[in-house]
Amino acid sequence: MSSNYLETLYPAWGQQFVIDEVLFEVNTGHQHLIIFNNAQWGTVMALDGVIQTTEKDEFVYHEMMVHVPMLSHGNAKKVLIIGGGDGGILREVLKHQNVESVTQVEIDQQVIDMCIQYLPNHSAGAYDNPKANIVIADGVDFVNECTEKFDVIISDSTDPMGPGEVLFTSRFYQGIKNCLNEDGVFVAQNGVSFLQTEEVTTTFKRLSPLFTEASFYCGAVPTYVGGIMTFAWATDNLALKNVSLETIEARYKAANLSTRFYTPAVHKGSFALPQYVMEAL
């Protein structure tokens, strides 16, 4: 007999998955981790009751979180990932040949280990790449104590509850400012804006005093239900958002990327925000 997995993100509504088989389930000490198979979405991974990634639609999120900042920057050599234990972000970053090193700071070793085992196509070998430097540590402490500088920083966190909560605080953003190169850019998952509107308001309020530009871009990830997700964007380099479509296209071609959601036109269009999001700023 099969059982169901009900996402518990919102108190009065949620999506439900038929579980064909539970592949792994544990309380890691940081959070509840479950990985299961579902006929519609393939292998699914959830943390603390919230769907984090599925085999079938992960490309939407990972491509948008990586190629928008990377191709806006155009020559990122040093990249920092906070979180991202399933390895999807690392995989996409390493597609950029100009990258010399990627540091990934994940708090939960078990998420990395279990995703390598049960979601192997997420990292697709990226954890074995000599350019990847994996640190098991608290992301907030790391960015505040770090003496290195990065060109692109990507925060692939859970939502602001449990271990992810600190990754939405001013102290974290101050640390980001501390280790971001002057012309670099920081991006972060910022929730589904229709249902988590407060996150848009709060993130904007906290990033604005620290960066010349605090803004958002968006994309629709099927299993992050409720409409578009916003990605926070913070930088002191005002030129990045205004890089022309032609330049993005040339960089995309030169990088020889193969993508399934991302296109240079999607990239440019993703900075157009719905009115209700702009009103939340």
- Please list the active-site residues: 156
Place of tokens 């509504």: 13
> Would you say 31 or 158 has its CB closer to ligand AG3?
158
Q: Which runs of consecutive H residues, i.e. helices, occur in 81-132?
A: 88-93, 109-118, 120-123
151 sits near ligand AG3 (criterion: CB under 6 A): no
Nearer residue to ligand AG3 within complex by CB, 104 or 158: 158
The helix (H) or strand (E) run that includes residue 202 is helix 197-207
Nearest-angstrom CA–CA distance, 107 and 96: 25
Residue 120 CA to its chain's centroid (Å): 18
DSSP code at position 95:
T
Q: Is 84 in the site for ligand AG3 (CB under 6 A)?
A: yes
Which residues from 92-131 bind ligand AG3, rule CB under 6 A?
Answer: none
CB of 58 to ligand AG3, least distance (A): 7
C-beta of 20: minimal distance to ligand AG3 in Å? Answer: 21
The CA-based angle 264-69-245, given to 5 degrees, is 30
Q: Does 36 bind ligand AG3 (CB under 6 A)?
A: no
Query: How many CB atoms are closer than 10 A to CB 21?
Result: 10
Contact 29/111 with Cβ under 8 angstroms? no
Please give the structure tokens belonging to residue 70: 């990377």
- Residue type at position 232: A
Distance CA 51, CA 53 (A): 6
- Name which position in 69, 184, 191, 264 contacts ligand AG3 (CB under 6 A): 191
Among the candidate windows 73-81, 98-106, 139-147, 186-194, which touches ligand AG3 by CB under 6 A? 186-194
As measured in angstroms, the least distance from the Cβ of 234 to ligand AG3 is: 18
Binding track, positions 58-77, relative to ligand AG3; x by CB under 6 A: ---x----------------
Q: Which positions from 204 through 233 interact with ligand AG3, judged by CB under 6 A?
A: 224
> Token pair 């074995």 is at which residue?
128
Interface with ligand AG3 by CB under 6 A: which range of 91-99, 106-114, 133-141, 156-164? 156-164
Closest CA to 152 of 276, 258, 30, 237: 237
Selected binder of ligand AG3 within 82, 143, 159, 181 (CB under 6 A): 159
Residue numbers at the binding site for ligand AG3 (CB under 6 A): 9, 50, 52-53, 61, 84, 86, 88-89, 156, 158-159, 189, 191-192, 196, 224
